[in-house]
Amino acid sequence: MFLAWPSVAWFYFRQLVIPIGISGFHSIAYLDHPTLGGFWIPLLLAGCLLLVGWGWGSTRKPKQLGPIWLAAILMTLPLLPVFDLRALTAGDVVHERYLYLPSVGYVIFIALALCELEDRLKRAKPSLSGTALATTGAIAVLFVALTLTQQRQWSSDIALYTRGIVTAPDNLTVRDNLANALLATGQPARAIAVYQEVLSRNPNFWRSSFNLGVAYYRSGNEPAAEQSLEQAIRVDNRDSDQYIYLALVKMQMKRLSEAKYNAREAVARSPEAPGYHLILGLIAEASADENTARDAFRTELKLHPDNSAARQELQKIRETASSSTH
């Protein structure tokens, strides 16, 4: 983490000064040893900037130091928490949104510099008064153009994550999110291809193993769904959704005892999750385990009284029991 700090600092300064290549995702890798491009050059550039800033501030009059200190604090203090890279997803540790408040400090610096430029030009040549205002207008026009050209990526999730792959090609989370967006818009074949690409890069990437299993299940490919979900469980067995989807897959494949086992595993991990007890009840009902089915439907209704499917299934069991007694 420490070795990545110079690259992180340089990234944020660069995005403040030259906000080109804006994206929701960027790649900055952790280092296990100092490299020229990943550590020493960013460290040198950051050090030079600090020296320039200190030198410029040291020449200011005492009454000018207040705004300078305010700008410096706004630029640095809000960024300090995000340098604890351990709190962020590995490979996805820098985001322009962390610059919202620091950007206020930066434009204060720009305003101070423009005011100083105006004063010097007026003293040298009075006819050049208004230079600061003209320069501010030019900067505003430039940044409006940059905003209009770079905000189009937010038109849809697919556009956002497609852009993210361009700016962060090694970020597997971005690719997984793109596949999720494709699946959500009814493009399962494209989504499955992206999930498979992620897993070809990292077979232990849990999210894509799980999401690929869901995509296969929704596409009706139960054997492939079973394989992907079981791989996800091998990587990380804590998530309950992977068990409930595997239970659904096993039920579709008529392997009811395995389906019941996985449904119970899901319930054990998230006993109050909506729909879990309903699915357990449906599996028990299909395997002629009426008592388990009845208890599961009752539990579902106790936890989620608005679940009409559970109410209908419970009523069906009651009607069947009533007809059998007659």
Distance in angstroms (rounded) separating the CA atoms of residues 101 and 217: 44
Q: How much is the average pLDDT of 18-42? A: 86
> What are the structure tokens assigned to 312, written together?
């209908």
Percent of the chain with pLDDT over 70: 98
- Secondary structure in 3-state letters for 213-229: HHHHHHHCCHHHHHHHH
User: Residue 86's pLDDT band (boundaries 50, 70, 90)?
Assistant: confident
For the ranges 3-7, 54-58, 99-103, 291-295, the lowest mean pLDDT is seen at 54-58
262 or 322: which carries more pLDDT confidence? 262
Distance in angstroms (rounded) separating the CA atoms of residues 137 and 144: 11
Distance in angstroms (rounded) separating the CA atoms of residues 303 and 182: 33
Q: Which residues contact 39 (CB under 8 A, 6 or more apart)?
A: 3, 6, 7, 31
pLDDT at 326 over 60: no
Q: Angle at the Cα of 205 (from 188 to 34), degrees rounded to 5?
A: 135
> What are the structure tokens assigned to 314, written together?
């419970």
